[in-house]
C-alpha cells in the first residue's frame, strides 16, 4: 500500500508570513521552494532551488549568488594575483623576462640627439664624418688634397699628366716637366702613355734586371710575329739549332753524341790501372779511352787487360774468359822491320802487347775502344792501338789488336776494366787518361 506525504503549502505571501513548528518543512506553491522552520521566524529558511532563481545576487556587503559575467571575470585572474605591486617591482619583473632591456634616461637623451628621419648616407653627414661620396665625383676626376684634411675632386683633362713638381702641390704637368721628373734625355715623350713602346729610353739602358724573369735554361728568340718568346730548356747535352728564317729554333741532339766522361792522371807507382765507376753509365753504348805518358819502372813489361763485373767489380780471370789477337809492327828509323801476329782463343786475360814493348823510361800511348759493355745480348768487344819504344836497336813497336769478354760463352755486362803490368814491376806516376762516352 503506497503512502503519500503532503506538506503544508502557501503562496509566496503566505509562506513569508507563516511561522511553522521546529523542523517543519513547507512548500511555496508559487515556485516549489522549500522552507525549513524553527518555530519562531516568519517565512523560515529558504532552501535554494537548482537554478538559484530564489537566491539573491551577491553585493559588496551581502553574500549571494555570483553572476556569470562575474565568474568569467574571476576566471581571467591568475592564481595568487596581487593588485598592490609597486612600479619598481613591475619594472624588475619586466626586465627579468627574455628579450627585454631597460630604457634609461641616458638612452632617451641619446635618442633625442638623433635628427628626425636621420640618414647616415646623405652627403652632409658623410662629408661631416670626413668621408667622400660617389656624388662628389664628376667624370674624369680624382681625389687630391693640397692641405691636410681637405680633399677635393680634381678634374683631369684629356691627354694630361698629373703630378707634383719640385715645388707646389698636385697639378697638371707639361711634357717638359714630366720629362724632367722621369729623367728622359730625349725630348720626345709622346710615348709616355705606353712604356712598352717608349722611344725615349736611351740606348743601352735596359738592364737584365729590367727584363721579365724566365725559367732557368730557357733561351729568348723572336717568333713569327716578332714578339720575344722563350724556348724552354732542352734535354741535357742538346744544342740550339737554327732551322732557317721561316722557322723557330729548336733543341737538337749532337750527332753521334760523343761526350767526355772522365779524365785523370796516375799517381804513385801502381801495378794496375782500374777504370771503376767510369764505364758503368748506361747512357753510353761505347767508351773510348785515350792515354799517353804511360811509363813502366822496368823494361820488358807486357800490357794485359781484364774486365770487372757486378756493382762492386769482381775482375774475371778464368781460363776461358777471353779471346784476343794482335798484330805487332816493328819499325827502325822509320823503316818497317817485321810484322808478327799472336792470338789465343780461350785465355785468362786479353794480352794487348808482347813482352819488351817499351824500355824503362820510355812512354806508351794509344787508344782502347770498349763496345757494348752493358749489353745482355752480345759479348763485350775491344779494339786497341798502342805504340811503344824499345831501346834495343832504337825501335818502335805498334800493336793493333782486339778481343772479347767471352766468359765461357755467357753474356755478362761489364762494369769495369783493369790494365795491368805483367813481367815488370810497376807503372810510373804521371800517365794521363781521358775517357769519352759514345751514344748511338
pLDDT at 184: 56
For residues 26 and 20, give the distance between their C-alpha atoms in angstroms, rounded to a whole number.
Answer: 8
Give domain 7-50's CATH number out of 3.40.50.1000, 2.10.10.30, 3.10.20.600, 3.40.50.300: 2.10.10.30
pLDDT at 419: 93
Tens of pLDDT, residue by residue over 261-276, are 899 999 988 889 999 8
Q: Which of 263, 299, 261 is nearest to 281 (CA)?
A: 261
For residues 285 and 275, give the distance between their C-alpha atoms in angstroms, rounded to a whole number.
Answer: 16
pLDDT at 130: 64
pLDDT at 129: 66
Number of other residues whose CB lies within 10 A of the CB of residue 168: 8
151 φ, ψ (degrees, to nearest 5): -70, 145
Q: Which of 399, 427, 440, 432 is nearest to 290 (CA)?
A: 432
Q: Where along the chain do the CATH 2.60.120 domains lie? A: 258-438
Which stretches of the chain drop beneath a pLDDT of 70? 120-121, 123, 126, 128-130, 134, 136, 183-202, 254-256, 281, 300, 332-337, 356-362, 390-395, 424-425
pLDDT at 194: 47
pLDDT at 359: 61
C-alpha cell at 156: 683631369
C-alpha cell at 188: 720626345
pLDDT at 189: 46
Contact 365, 375 (CB under 8 A): no
Numbers of helices and strands, H then E, in the chain: 6, 25
- Give 424: exposed, middle or buried? Use CB within 10 Å, 0-12, 13-18, 19+: buried
CATH 2.60.120: does it fit domain 258-438?
Answer: yes
Q: Where along the chain do the CATH 2.10.10.30 domains lie? A: 7-50
Q: How many Cα neighbours within 13 Å face the side chain of 423? A: 15
Task: Return the percent helix, strand and coil in the chain, to nearest 5.
Answer: 15, 35, 50
Which residues face 228 on adjacent strands? 222
Contact 385, 399 (CB under 8 A): yes
pLDDT at 200: 57
Helix (H, G, I), strand (E, B) or coil at 197: helix
pLDDT at 187: 47
Q: Is 177 left (phi over 0), alpha (psi -120 to 50) or beta?
A: alpha
Q: Which of 342, 344, 356, 432 is nearest to 397 (CA)?
A: 356
Q: Which of 436, 433, 303, 323 is nearest to 382 (CA)?
A: 323
Amino acid at each position: 500500500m503506497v503512502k503519500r506525504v503532503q506538506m503544508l503549502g502557501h503562496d509566496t505571501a503566505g509562506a513569508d508570513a507563516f511561522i511553522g513548528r521546529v523542523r517543519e518543512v513547507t512548500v511555496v506553491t508559487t515556485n516549489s521552494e522549500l522552507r525549513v522552520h524553527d518555530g519562531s521566524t516568519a517565512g523560515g529558511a529558504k532552501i535554494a532551488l537548482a537554478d538559484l532563481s530564489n537566491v539573491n545576487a551577491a553585493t559588496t556587503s551581502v553574500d549571494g549568488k555570483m553572476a556569470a559575467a562575474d565568474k568569467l571575470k574571476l576566471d581571467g585572474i591568475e592564481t595568487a594575483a596581487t593588485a598592490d605591486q609597486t612600479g619598481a617591482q613591475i619594472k624588475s619583473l619586466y626586465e627579468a623576462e627574455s628579450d627585454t632591456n631597460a630604457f634609461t634616461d641616458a638612452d632617451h637623451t641619446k635618442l633625442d640627439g638623433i635628427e628626425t628621419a636621420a640618414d647616415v648616407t646623405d652627403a652632409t653627414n658623410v662629408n661631416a664624418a670626413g668621408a667622400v661620396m660617389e656624388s662628389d665625383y664628376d667624370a674624369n676626376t680624382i681625389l687630391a688634397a693640397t692641405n691636410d684634411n681637405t680633399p677635393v675632386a680634381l678634374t683631369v683633362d684629356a691627354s694630361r699628366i698629373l703630378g707634383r713638381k719640385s715645388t707646389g702641390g698636385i697639378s697638371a704637368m707639361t711634357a717638359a716637366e714630366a720629362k724632367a721628373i722621369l729623367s728622359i734625355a730625349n725630348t720626345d715623350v709622346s710615348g709616355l702613355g705606353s712604356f712598352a713602346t717608349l722611344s725615349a729610353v736611351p740606348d743601352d739602358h735596359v738592364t737584365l734586371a729590367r727584363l721579365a724573369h724566365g725559367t732557368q735554361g730557357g733561351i729568348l728568340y723572336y717568333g713569327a710575329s716578332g714578339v720575344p718568346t722563350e724556348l724552354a730548356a732542352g734535354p741535357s747535352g742538346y744544342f740550339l739549332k737554327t732551322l732557317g728564317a721561316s722557322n723557330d729554333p729548336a733543341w737538337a741532339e749532337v750527332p753521334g753524341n760523343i761526350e767526355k766522361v772522365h779524365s785523370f792522371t796516375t799517381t804513385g807507382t801502381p801495378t794496375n790501372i782500374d777504370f771503376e765507376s767510369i764505364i758503368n753509365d748506361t747512357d753510353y753504348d761505347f767508351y773510348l779511352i785515350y792515354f799517353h805518358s804511360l811509363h813502366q819502372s822496368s823494361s820488358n813489361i807486357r800490357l794485359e787487360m781484364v774486365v770487372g763485373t757486378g756493382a762492386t767489380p769482381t775482375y774475371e780471370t778464368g781460363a776461358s774468359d777471353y779471346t784476343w789477337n794482335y798484330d805487332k809492327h816493328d819499325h827502325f828509323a822509320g823503316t818497317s822491320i817485321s810484322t808478327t801476329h799472336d792470338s789465343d782463343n780461350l785465355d785468362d786475360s786479353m794480352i794487348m802487347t808482347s813482352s819488351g814493348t817499351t824500355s824503362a823510361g820510355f812512354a806508351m800511348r794509344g787508344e782502347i775502344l770498349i763496345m757494348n759493355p752493358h749489353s745482355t745480348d752480345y759479348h763485350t768487344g775491344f779494339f786497341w792501338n798502342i805504340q811503344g819504344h824499345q831501346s834495343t836497336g832504337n825501335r818502335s813497336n805498334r800493336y793493333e789488336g782486339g778481343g772479347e769478354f767471352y766468359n765461357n760463352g755467357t753474356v755478362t755486362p761489364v762494369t769495369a776494366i783493369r790494365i795491368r803490368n805483367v813481367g815488370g814491376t810497376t807503372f810510373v806516376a804521371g800517365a794521363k787518361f781521358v775517357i769519352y762516352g759514345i751514344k748511338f
